[in-house]
A = this chain, B = another copy of it.
Amino acid sequence: MHRGNRHGRSEQARLAVLHAADDLLVENGFARLTVEGIAQRAGVAKQTIYRWWPSKTDILFEAFVTDAAEEITPPDTGDLTRDLITYLGALARFLTASDAGAVFRALTAESQHDPALAARLRQEHWTGQRVRDRQLLQRAVERGDLPAMADLDTIVDRLVGPLYYRALVTGQEITTEFVTELVRATIDAK
């Protein structure tokens, strides 16, 4: 329960802040998310927040990293097409319908205005996420389901790119048909 400093930081306060930030984001949206509001909701002093987090996006970041990243880990059943359809469906649901996805969207949006946040997202999220995304294809290559010379990075982008695009950029709906056709056209036709 204690660490680092002599007797250290309150884990209770830390978790209260993360949950309060999460809740308030989902309830009111990022525009109305204030450090004072988080402090009040968490029953914590504002100074305690500023002591440990440089800004409110850092709070969201920690909340995101803590409990959200594994929501979008691809499955591995050995059936590439089925795995992809499952995964992209879960990804669509994460991006458009989950609380963790709301945090992700807010962070991605803010990273357009904040290069430091953008860098942190790249280093602490995308590095790992791209590895996880590739693995699905890598295993298919190893099984012989995909040609060995395929540029896996580009294939990953061709699979997930259209989903992020619809969810974050144009706001179009992501239907089952769209996902199915996307996977079929990208993989099967190869």
Q: How many of these chains are in the complex?
A: 4
Tell whether A181 is near chain B: CB-to-CB under 8 Å: yes
User: Which one of A16-24, A46-54, A63-71, A106-114 contacts B?
Assistant: A106-114
CA distance A115 to B27 in the complex (A): 14
Cβ-defined partner of A29 (8 Å) among B113, B168, B172:
B113
Interface residues on A, range: 35 or more
Mark out the residues of chain A between 134 and 174 whose CB falls within 8 Å of any chain B CB in the assembled complex. 151, 154, 157-158, 160-166, 168-172
CA distance A189 to B172 in the complex (A): 26
* Complex contact A157–B168 (CB within 8 A): no
Contacts of A182 in B (CB 8 A): 154, 157-158
Given A161-B163, A161-B165, A182-B154, do A109 and B118 touch, yes or no (CB 8 Å)? no
Given A31-B113, A31-B114, A106-B112, do A158 and B169 touch, yes or no (CB 8 Å)? no
CA distance A138 to B65 in the complex (A): 43
* Complex contact A185–B169 (CB within 8 A): no
Tell whether A30 is near chain B: CB-to-CB under 8 Å: yes
* Complex contact A168–B166 (CB within 8 A): no
> Which residues of A are in contact with B by a Cβ distance under 8 Å?
29-31, 105-106, 108-114, 118, 121-122, 126, 130, 151, 154, 157-158, 160-166, 168-172, 178, 181-182, 185-186, 189-190
Would you give 24 A-B contacts (Cβ < 8 Å), ordered by A? A29-B114, A30-B113, A31-B114, A105-B112, A106-B113, A109-B109, A109-B110, A109-B112, A109-B113, A111-B171, A126-B171, A130-B170, A154-B182, A157-B182, A158-B158, A158-B185, A161-B164, A161-B166, A162-B162, A164-B164, A165-B165, A168-B168, A168-B169, A185-B186
